[in-house]
Structure 1
Amino acid sequence: MRILMVGHYPPHKGGVANHTDSLVRELRKRHEVYVLTYGPIIPRDFERDAVYQVKVPPIFGLRGILFALLAFLKIIKLHKKLNFELIHAHYLGTTSYAGVLAKRKLKIPLIITAHGSDLDFMSNLPLGRYFVRESISKSNAIIAVSHYLKGKALSLGAKRVKVIPNGIRKLNSKKAARKYITFIGALAPYKDPETFIRLAEHFPTEKFLVVGEGPLMDELKSRAPSNVEFLGYRGDVENILAESKMLVVPSLREGFGLVIVEANSLGVPVVGRAVGGIKELIRDGKNGYLFKDFDELVERVELLLDNKKALKMGRIGRRIGERYTWEKVAERIEEVYTEVLGEGHDDSDKHAGRR
């Protein structure tokens, strides 16, 4: 197949970019895969001829709308040269709407993956809701990375949604003593790193690590106790987890929670808030604990500080992590491609929302 991926992609950081990068690497073993992403960027040398960009200003709101329009025009131009068989857009909203416009013009199928904040955040904005609903109704297939997101998509008009979780890349960590309680994620309000800092205050004899960057960085540093270390963004998450007793995920919303699976794959138990996709990844009392409020979080962390309990949960987590390989994820996505291409397509969008 000749496939065009549309959305965030390295050198961009974040969950969607990492997801798309891993999926593209796996699909390229069997298919021609090209990428259209937000510019300005400098593509990596090994794929310089396969990654295209639309340069848009870094202004929230305007950036996405301009991308939708300019990416649509770019797709038309690229299709004349490369003749794509399908478009796979990542993130419901303005990104996927570029695919909607291109599908209407080119009469080729459009698959969209919902990743989380698109349905949790974008769909609540007046204009964003329009882009999300149009994308859902005009797509040939919707993929959601969790059953939680599937429910959101169905509530917004999707007819049928295929749940295919994120995969994890193979992590080869160093051997190290487990000495930290760790937070990994964007330092943004919806990730609730403030609760993690409050937790550090409650356990002054434990060492806490904050891995990530974002708008709350300065504020968190100014009020964090001395037992908290800030590392900023790190690309070697496996080495961070190798030194972690446990991972804490206090997010207020989460479509999937890839770092949970990454932690489990390395034998690290996870304590996560009982919201969104987190509830699907943590089997309470097996590979970690769920919590609803701060008192319950403290209680769960105290339980995990019992080393024997943490080791047992870590072993279970490793077994669970083995199920989330990119080989398996790519195979399931290829099945969606094959099904959509086998249905036949016209400009009536009669297959919208089909698996």
Structure 2
Amino acid sequence: MKIAVHSSHYPYPEHKERYISGGGEKVARLVSEGLVEKGHEVTVYTASNGSPSQSIHNGVRVVRYRRMGSIGRTSVAPKQFVPEFDDADVIHIHNTTPPGVFSGLLHSYTSGSPAILTHHGTDRYVPEGSIIKRTLNYLYAEVFLEPILSNVDAITIPTTAYLSESPTIEKYRGKVIEVPNGISTEKYYNPELGNKADEIFNICSDNFVVAFIGDLIPKKGPDMLVEVADQFDQVSFIIAGDGPMIDKLRQRAPKNTKIPGYISDEEKIALLNRADAFCLPSRNHTEVFPLVFLEAFAAGTPVITSDLGTFDNIVTQDVGVRFQRGNKSGLSSCIHQLANSQQEKDRLSAAAKKNQKNTGGQVL
């Protein structure tokens, strides 16, 4: 079967500065490569980091259109909206940011092929960025999204628990299919590599380590970690990732907090294996199912996160601790809870590793 995949961004084999490659984009890659392994022919249509290109990576043909600019962090490639696509039996759309969605709908309309939309969380207006970005975000979330959902043939989400956070998606429950995220777990458990993290990140070997890995954007709450970090004497905070908040976070970070920016996969695995807890203080309903939770579980690392309903089936009391979203004192209490109880940390760590082994081993 020929499958056409549309995503605003799609990961390059190597890191590219100022090119989004977050959880939604990684899911697009995992799904596309998994479909190739099942014998399907997959072509991805996406924006480039600059010049146009075509390549084949892990069996997936990737067509990248010339980037002519950006709105916020989203690349704008006008040729995405010119109907010159190849024939396809199915159109798979990743709803991360609008360009890929409109490109996929256009492909479905011109070819008559059914469209499946994988929803990554953009379904309500969040007032962030410039006036232009805010205006476009409002129009997309509040005007265009419902007609889009009406016109696709199926909607996949990684957890139906997200419906409790999304009245918009809830309206289309009849066409919603749960397809949980998955990763290849073997590479993430590497205690030997974890031993190198102290040197890589300049961590005191005796310290309890709290790690954050992700986009440095308001909805993920990295600023909350910076604001509570100075309450802890023998805890090191490593906030890894890139994004529009990085400069302000670095300016405000206390001495026990390091913000290295983007880190490689090897450095990420080292950090997850060294960390005593992984923390994602998400405060925003647009989070769905962060892949980094699975990566932390695979490394045997307990998770600290907020009480967003979409996390209910992912971060249970067996594998992590949770606090009221946006509540800094609650976040501090969770960190204190694990930092002051080796027994509790060990219990959660063992359960996290077992949970991931039992439920997360299949790559989509």
TM-score interval, smaller chain = 0.7 to 0.9
- Tell me what 1:298 maps to: 332
State yes or no: 1:27 paired with 2:35.
yes
The alignment partner of 2:247 has SS state of helix
Deviations 1:256-313 (A, max 9, x none): 12212211121100110111423331112x1010101222222221221211211111
For normalisation by structure 2, the TM-score amounts to 0.80
Answer whether contact 1:97 1:131 (CA < 8 A) is retained: no
Indicate how the Cα distance of structure 1 residues 44 and 210 shifts in structure 2: closer, same or farther if over 3 A, else same: farther
The alignment partner of 1:125 has SS state of helix
Identify the match of residue 64 of structure 2 among 53, 56, 68: 53
Answer whether contact 2:156 2:178 (CA < 8 A) is retained: yes
Q: Quick one: distance in 2 between partners of 1:272 and 1:37?
A: 32
Answer whether contact 2:32 2:60 (CA < 8 A) is retained: no
State yes or no: 1:288 paired with 2:324.
no
Q: Quick one: distance in 2 between partners of 1:251 and 1:167?
A: 20
Deviations 1:97-124 (A, max 9, x none): 2222222221111000001235564997
| CA displacement at 1:154 relative to structure 2 | 3.2
- Tell me what 2:129 maps to: none
Q: Quick one: distance in 2 between partners of 1:199 and 1:62?
A: 28
Q: Quick one: distance in 1 between partners of 2:256 and 2:54?
A: 39
- Tell me what 2:117 maps to: 112
The alignment partner of 1:183 has SS state of strand
Identity %: 24
Indicate how the Cα distance of structure 1 residues 58 and 204 shifts in structure 2: closer, same or farther if over 3 A, else same: farther
Give the length in aligned residue pairs: 320
Q: Which has the higher helix share?
A: 1
Q: Which amino acid aligns with 1:10?
A: P
- Which stretches in structure 2 are left out of the alignment for 5+ residues? 13-18, 127-133, 196-204
| CA displacement at 1:72 relative to structure 2 | 4.1
Q: Quick one: distance in 2 between partners of 1:207 and 1:62?
A: 30
- Tell me what 2:100 maps to: 95
For normalisation by structure 1, the TM-score amounts to 0.81
State yes or no: 1:36 paired with 2:72.
no
Indicate how the Cα distance of structure 1 residues 181 and 49 shifts in structure 2: closer, same or farther if over 3 A, else same: closer
Answer whether contact 1:249 1:271 (CA < 8 A) is retained: yes
The alignment partner of 1:117 has SS state of coil
Indicate how the Cα distance of structure 1 residues 311 and 206 shifts in structure 2: closer, same or farther if over 3 A, else same: same
Give 1:149-298 correspondences, 5 Å limit.
149-151=162-164, 152=166, 153-155=168-170, 157=172, 159-170=174-185, 171-172=187-188, 173-175=190-192, 176=194, 179-236=208-265, 237-253=268-284, 254-284=287-317, 286-292=318-324, 293-298=327-332
The higher-RCO structure (CA 8 Å, 6+ apart) is 1
Q: Which amino acid aligns with 2:222?
A: P
Indicate how the Cα distance of structure 1 residues 62 and 230 shifts in structure 2: closer, same or farther if over 3 A, else same: closer
| CA displacement at 1:191 relative to structure 2 | 1.5
- Which stretches in structure 1 are left out of the alignment for 5+ residues? 331-355
- Tell me what 2:346 maps to: 311
Q: Which amino acid aligns with 1:297?
A: L
- Tell me what 2:2 maps to: 2
- Tell me what 2:150 maps to: 137
Indicate how the Cα distance of structure 1 residues 61 and 268 shifts in structure 2: closer, same or farther if over 3 A, else same: closer
